[in-house]
Amino acid sequence: MKYITRTVWILSLVSLLTDTASEMLYPIMPIYLKSIGFSIVLIGVLEGFAEAIAGLSKGYFGKKSDNLGKRLPFVQIGYGLSAISKPMMALFVFPLWIFFARTIDRIGKGVRTGARDAMLSDEATAKTKGEIFGFHRSMDTLGAVIGPAMALIYLYYYPTDYKTLFLIAFIPGVLAVIATLLIKEKQREVSTDKPKTSFFSFLNYWKESPILYRKLVIGLLLFTLFNSSDVFLLLKLKQSGISDTMIIGVYIFYNLIYALFAYPLGRIADKIGMKKMFLIGLVIFSIVYFGMAFNTNLYLYFGLFFLYGVYASATEGISKAWISNISDKKDTATAIGTFTAFQSICTMLASSMAGLIWYNFSANATFIITGVGTIGVIFYFFIKVNVNNK
């Protein structure tokens, strides 16, 4: 771990604490919203609206960070917004207030993402990007293990006491914000001519970006169009007759595998190349989805979610490390922000299409189409993205 600097450690700890807070609420969010009168349709509208805002803001704030030549203020404000949104949802139950609080949380993610990933990139060389981003993903995902586990334990003793859980989630969120105060930002040379940053100005980067960046991002977005929400995987478990408690257990198991493998696979990616590691991840992903289409055995589900955790480890951090290697250092936040903005929109479309296929045909059709589509994406990467370790 000799390449893991103090800044990387702190950023990773901040992500762990924030994810602990967010994932503590993830399993109970739909249940809580229904308990205060939200319909399924309204919950869908809320989540869709919040994710759309977060997606577009990632591009804008990434561009803003590059233009100002600053990273830390965006990181601190972003994590701060996410922290204060937790108790806001427990204090008032009016629909407009809930919309406001949820949007604040997602905007916080949009504010910090590009700047934080640029800071991580600045702490690495081209030969250590996989390790740095992999370590951060490991710590971040460890929060997705701790958070749901804490929620399970709390709700075991205090069933339906959702409001208190929102207030408890505020504690790791505040600790995350305090930890950001320990980060020292590197001085960067910035042009005195600071262009105005409009909300959609990040779209101009697409025309100015290296051709390899465009080819890579097109491939990543094609995959995103087939990669629907993990909720559909959990719904398949429910359809197979598995209990709610066991489903949350499987979800925690998946995140544990993800957290354990992200760092070592990141190191391996630095040695064998980002492209090879990413393609290995896509192959595993397609195996998981074909398996989900036909399996009904609990033990095999654990095997599939083990593979799903390995897939996430081989792709999530790797894709951002890959992007940061092929973009100019002064444009890192814009490059990652632009990708994640488009990715959020594609994720919405993917989940909508998956839901329609599930409703009109079957769950099996959803998983088979996803598996076949992923094989097509693998061929795209082989043919179009022919630079291995950039």
Which pLDDT tens digit goes with each residue over 376-390?
999 999 998 875 444
* Domain total in the chain: 1
Q: HSE, CB side, 13 Å, CA atoms: give it for residue 331.
A: 18
What's the one-letter identity of residue 244? D
Would you say residue 373 lies in a domain? Answer: yes
Say what the pTM is: 0.86
Would you say residue 389 lies in a domain? Answer: no
CATH number reported for the structural domain that contains residue 141 in this entry: 1.20.1250.20
Would you say residue 1 lies in a domain? Answer: no
- The per-residue pLDDT for range 239-293, each reduced to its tens digit, is 888 887 788 788 889 999 999 999 999 999 999 999 999 999 999 999 999 999 9
- pLDDT top residue among 126 and 197: 126
pLDDT at 40: 55
Q: HSE, CB side, 13 Å, CA atoms: give it for residue 185.
A: 18
Cα 7 to Cα 182: distance, rounded to the nearest angstrom: 9
| E strand residue ranges, the chain | none
pLDDT at 189: 63
Would you say residue 340 lies in a domain? Answer: yes
| 388: CB partners within 8 A, 6+ apart | 273, 274, 275, 276
Would you say residue 189 lies in a domain? Answer: no
Would you say residue 326 lies in a domain? Answer: yes
What average pLDDT score do residues 25-54 get?
69
Residue with tokens 């490390």: 321
Would you say residue 188 lies in a domain? Answer: no
- The per-residue pLDDT for range 70-96, each reduced to its tens digit, is 899 999 999 999 999 888 877 877 777
What average pLDDT score do residues 309-319 get?
94
Would you say residue 134 lies in a domain? Answer: yes
What is the share, in percent, of the chain residues with pLDDT greater than 70? 91
Tokens of residue 210, six digits: 């290296």
Nearest by Cα to 47 from 32, 59, 69 = 32
What average pLDDT score do residues 302-328 get?
93
Host domain of residue 261: 6-183+204-384
pLDDT at 390: 44
pLDDT at 243: 80
